[in-house]
Chain A
Amino acid sequence: MAADAIDAAARIYPLDRLDTRTRVVVAVLLVLTLVSLRSWALLGVAIIIGLVLTRLAGISSKQTIRRLLHVEGFLLILFIALPLLTRLPPFIEIGPLSLSLPGLERAVTIVLRISAAALVVLSLFSGLTPTRLGHALGRLGLPSRLIQVFLFAIRYIELLRAEARRLHDAMRLRGFLPGTNVHTMRSYGHFIGQLLVRAVERAERVNEAMRCRGFAGRFPLVTLEKLGLVDIGAAGLACLLVGAALLMDRL
């Protein structure tokens, strides 16, 4: 059950009832299965399931469409390149172009696969708050130092972004206009350099403050999440789906 202190005020959607660990593990399992599916019908079903999941996670249709469009950008290149460039027969000749039919088929398969995977990841993974994911990953057995780095990065990212904004405003006030020239590269170089220096100096101060409080590379990971019946149900359903899909794909 999800009981994230930070999210106490937020609306709870059906998928939020799952333990974050279940969400992460199920998402990986489903996407790995998608990679090995070939049947267009099964991939179509997977896309429908993905759409249902986005509803269950409370993700708006606008967000879903934006995500799909972003992924599709990569696909456009693939879609044009695969039929045109593969040397697999048979071909259809359209004027000077020769389209490879197997190439076209493969391109369709990949488009379906990527869309389904994007929907699954969007609904099960992208909606998590960073803190929630950090704690879940820690509880899944990732090294605690790595989790600390992740949690610290979340803590300081907004602060450093505000610093970056201030520096950028200062540059703009001095009439800086980015263009494709060496001046812009030098300015960006100094900008990034200054950000790095400030981050390191801030890290030194943070480090001293932490050591004053006896930090030894570890924070307790506080969470009220427990694996419940819903999780067993969800995991079972996922395994069933995966098994059925793999079996039907082979037939």
Chain B
Amino acid sequence: MAHIPDGVLSLPVLAVGTLAGAGGLWLGVRKLGDRDIPQTALLAAVFFIASSLAFPLGPTSVHLLLGGLIGLVLGWKAFPAIFVGLLLQALLFGFGGLTVLGVDLVNMALPGVLLAMAVRPFIRAGNPVRSASLAGLSAALSVLVTAGLVGVEIALSEPAFAPAISVMAVAYLPLAIIEALVTAFVTLYLLKVKPDMIGASTVIGTTP
């Protein structure tokens, strides 16, 4: 997950980020019925585990963000799920910060949720290739938007740092490509096995 340490962001940026995070969380919790609680929790745990997977990239490796996929599977419930993941990371690994929780939450959750909303109407079990490409595209875009948000927040807090942001953005490009392909393959898999999980209609072959 994309973390900003405590102490980098200025108070106004923190305040706006925390408010936005709380807003998203509120929307997500409102969508959370009694029956959704175990499912959201278990999916949050899976995403937590999956994002600790190291994907080899040349001599190094990258961790998947999976924001696009989380948005696709969970919708607004991505906010509570990612919040839980961030808390667990702070507790178990000591990653990330405390005051930046809201900002990190928005960075991770918002792009995926919004992009998934945009592509979900076009995702159908009957058209797996189009569905997977769209899911992959939204995953790649959500990585880039997340990186962009991180960059803008740092630049707003520390204007002197603005020129370095573009350097950082380039570093996220390979991850965006990997995420796109992995998410596309996950989508293909889910469309075959459990299409209702990503909001696709279960009836295969109907394209209304």
Contact = CB atoms under 8 A, between A and B. Distances in A.
Interface string B167-188: 1100000000010011111101
A199 B157 CA distance: 40
A28 B100 CA distance: 10
Interface in A116-140: 116-118, 121-122, 125-126, 128-130, 133
Interface string A79-115: 0011001111000000000001011001000100110
Contacts of A86: 160-161, 163
B185 A34 contact: no
Contacts of B118: none
Interface in A174-197: 178-180, 182, 184-186, 188-190, 192-197
A126 B90 contact: yes
Interface string B127-171: 000000000000000000000000000000010110110011000
B80 A146 contact: yes
Contacts of B182: 185, 188-189, 192
B5 interface: yes
B189 A217 contact: no
A220 interface: no
B128 to A, nearest CB: 13
B193 interface: yes
A170 to B, nearest CB: 15
Contacts of A128: 91
Contact of A145 (B9, B29, B73, B99): B29
Contact of B99 (A32, A67, A161, A210): A32
A156 B43 CA distance: 10
A203 interface: yes
Contacts, number: 234
A149 B6 contact: no
Interface stretch (A4-12, A70-78, A242-250): A70-78
Interface residues of B, number: 72
Given A146-B25, A153-B44, A179 B164 contact: no
A51 interface: no
B114 interface: no
B98 interface: yes
A100 to B, nearest CB: 8
A143 B139 CA distance: 29
A2 interface: no
Given A161-B49, A210-B38, A114 B87 contact: no
A30 B29 CA distance: 29
A129 B90 CA distance: 11
Given A28-B98, A188-B55, A189-B183, A153 B48 contact: yes
Contact of A117 (B7, B35, B81): B7
Interface of A: 27-28, 31-32, 34-36, 67, 70-71, 74-75, 77-78, 81-82, 85-88, 100, 102-103, 106, 110, 113-114, 116-118, 121-122, 125-126, 128-130, 133, 143, 145-146, 148-157, 160-161, 164, 178-180, 182, 184-186, 188-190, 192-197, 199-200, 202-204, 206-207, 210-211, 215-217
